[in-house]
Structure 1
Amino acid sequence: MAKPSDTTAHRRSRLGPLLVSPSLVLLAAVIGYPVVAALVTSFRADPSLKDGFFTTGGEFSGVSNYLHWLVQSCGGTSCPAGTLGDQFWTSVLVTLFFTVVTVSLEVLIGLLMAVVMNQAFAGRGLLRAVVLVPWAIPTAVTAKLWFFMFAYDGIINRALGAHILWTDGAWSSRVAVIIADVWKTTPFVALLLLADMSGIPGGLYEAARIDGASAFQSFLRITLPLVRPALLVAVVFRVLDVLRIYDLPAILTQGGGGDGHATTTLSILTVRQIQQGYGGASALSTLTFVLIFGVALALVRAFRVNLVQSEQHGMS
């Protein structure tokens, strides 16, 4: 005869899948089907479009769509700048450049802001509320706001006393995107770190002060190790966000600048390709997904090792 506890556990084990199944079905319909459909389309040629309807074409084409993006195929001749392969690798470099620079600046500035907001001073609550404003503004509004500020006769040039074409030059347009993105999303990093800093017992800092540790030493030996988990989460979130960035550079610089591709990220290139053919766009979106998934997997594995090592170091 089964024990009551065993019967209850058995019922719970059967109830769990039933409760989760509606969510799984919804995810399969909303996420699973589009992903599989895009993957299948990436191996087909682009169908002909007439009067708004697909007519002929769309046959299986193997990996030709992927080769168009990964390898410059111009019939044995040298490909001019701006061809498919050149556009893809340029957009990859631009996306990785934005990711490394913006995330690094956001972590450094956000950490400094969190340290300041964690101090006791008059108006601390007001400061924490004001910091939320850039993060609360929709990205499209932020991009348009900075577009006017970076105009030739805008506030930035007037303040600097300069005449810079921020959205036309290659590096100036990249700097404009970086500044706008850092301004908007640094508060997210700062508040995430502040939540962990607020939970650090004040007795730790008092003991360190009695032992003769300076404020900088207390930050390195107490604050930084204790907020490391939140810091790693912020890095992972922001890296994944920037790898698929679209709206900010698309509105601020139209993905151009300089040679016309200075701020063209993978997401912008994919949207442009959709207007030319679904097969090539599906292949490009699949390559983008593989890149983001690979980076996410590498970060999670690396940070998990670091967390385990830090925990072991703290226990020894």
Structure 2
Amino acid sequence: MSTETATPLSSKRPAPRASLKKRQHGQVRTALWLILPTMALLAVVIGYPIVSAVVMSFQKDAGLDPATGMFVQGGFAGFQNYTHWLFQQCTSASGTVACPPGSLGAQFWNAVGVTFLFTVVTVVLETVFGFWMAIIMNRAFKGRGIVRAAILVPWAIPTAVTAKLWYFIFATTGIANAILHVNVLWVSGEWSSRWAIIIADTWKTTPFMALLILAGLQLIPDEVNEAAKMDGASTVQRFWRVTIPLVKPALMVAVLFRVLDALRIYDLPAILTSGGGGSGNATTTLSILVVDQIRQGPNSASALSTITFLIIFLVAFIFVRFLGANVVRTQESQQKGTL
């Protein structure tokens, strides 16, 4: 006669809720201790400079008082530094008139226009050429590794070296004029200097776009394209209806990175054209204007840098918000289509 050992009821019961919560609380506390050094480092490296710049932006720059002609220390300025950049109005004997080209407000809005011009044109060109390069690098052919390495060379060159390289190319007696059989002042004219920066920036950063897009292309299964080909889809149809939707998340990440980078462009126009060209500020971007303003007044420059930060943050927020919604819809529609 076999006997069965009764299992205690306590062994079948789940773990008490109190002990489970205690264990979860311990995990959260451990995670907080692990990320605390990183958060402290970010607060010192990023948080303190941002807070310091915002505080300085509400202070007056020390200088001569226009009424008395005597040197005065700075004090609380309120939003005066911001209004000088955004809403400056110039007055004359006849009343309020438009500010001259050299005024702070005119410099700021000119720099905003130049910055967004460079951003839009370069990102569009880099996306088109980068996609083309990524498709080439994604194909299987002999010597593909050498081609990939050669395409990435411009991106590996430091920006300062790239600027000097293209400075010699766009010189009056440089290679560009010799090949085109023209005599264009590339770094002195208004629009020629802008196109010189656009060409140089596109040449340097297109490999970066191609690398990120290539990562997205390699995630597309070969069976998807083969199935579309068996269904009778042409090359153009497969590109727009298969490749583009599947590579869209990686493409949007690449475009976002380049937009944020282009909005902060400084070294290439500063070295290639010294921020000049044409009337003297044809290639002056927001970052160049901030650096130039630091030499005249740090508090006013802090206000300008804060405005620049808010512009870039707003563009990034709108960009991520808009594209993030599209990514969710695309993934949901693809999942519904496979069910």
Question: Do both share a fold (TM > 0.5)?
Answer: yes
Structure 2: distance between partners of 1:17 and 1:147: 50
Structure 2: distance between partners of 1:61 and 1:3: 56
Alpha-carbon shift at residue 10 of structure 1 (Å): 2.4
How large is the Cα RMSD of the aligned pairs? 1.6
Structure 2: distance between partners of 1:32 and 1:117: 41
Residue 220 of structure 2 corresponds to which residue in structure 1? 200
Q: Following superposition of structure 1 onto structure 2, how do residues 175-194 of structure 1 map, counting pairs within 5 Å?
A: 175-194=195-214
Counterpart of 2:74, as a letter, is G
Alpha-carbon shift at residue 9 of structure 1 (Å): 2.3
Q: Which has the larger radius of gyration?
A: 2
Residues 1:304 and 2:324 are matched in the alignment: yes
Residue 288 of structure 2 corresponds to which residue in structure 1? 268
TM-score (norm 2): 0.88
Alpha-carbon shift at residue 3 of structure 1 (Å): 6.7
Alpha-carbon shift at residue 34 of structure 1 (Å): 1.1
SS at match of 1:227: helix
Residues 1:15 and 2:30 are matched in the alignment: yes
Structure 2: distance between partners of 1:200 and 1:314: 13
Residues 1:68 and 2:88 are matched in the alignment: no
Residues 1:226 and 2:246 are matched in the alignment: yes
Structure 2: distance between partners of 1:155 and 1:23: 49
Q: Following superposition of structure 1 onto structure 2, how do residues 100-111 of structure 1 map, counting pairs within 5 Å?
A: 100-111=120-131
Structure 1: distance between partners of 2:268 and 2:255: 19
Residues 1:37 and 2:52 are matched in the alignment: yes
Counterpart of 1:61, as a letter, is A
SS at match of 1:235: helix
Alpha-carbon shift at residue 167 of structure 1 (Å): 0.4
Residues 1:155 and 2:171 are matched in the alignment: no
Structure 1: distance between partners of 2:53 and 2:72: 19
Structure 2: distance between partners of 1:303 and 1:279: 36
SS at match of 1:108: helix
Structure 2: gaps spanning 5 or more residues: 1-15, 65-70
TM-score (norm 1): 0.95
Alpha-carbon shift at residue 300 of structure 1 (Å): 0.5
Residues 1:90 and 2:110 are matched in the alignment: yes
Residues 1:284 and 2:299 are matched in the alignment: no
The alignment covers a number of residue pairs equal to 311
Contact 2:111 2:284 in 1 (8 A): yes
Structure 2: distance between partners of 1:12 and 1:56: 57
Q: Following superposition of structure 1 onto structure 2, how do residues 115-264 of structure 1 map, counting pairs within 5 Å?
A: 115-264=135-284
Structure 2: distance between partners of 1:289 and 1:27: 17
Alpha-carbon shift at residue 79 of structure 1 (Å): 2.2
Structure 1: distance between partners of 2:241 and 2:144: 25
Residue 52 of structure 1 corresponds to which residue in structure 2? none
Structure 2: distance between partners of 1:221 and 1:18: 47
Can you list the C-alpha shifts for 1:15-49, whole angstroms capped at 9, x where unaligned?
11111111111111111111111111111111249
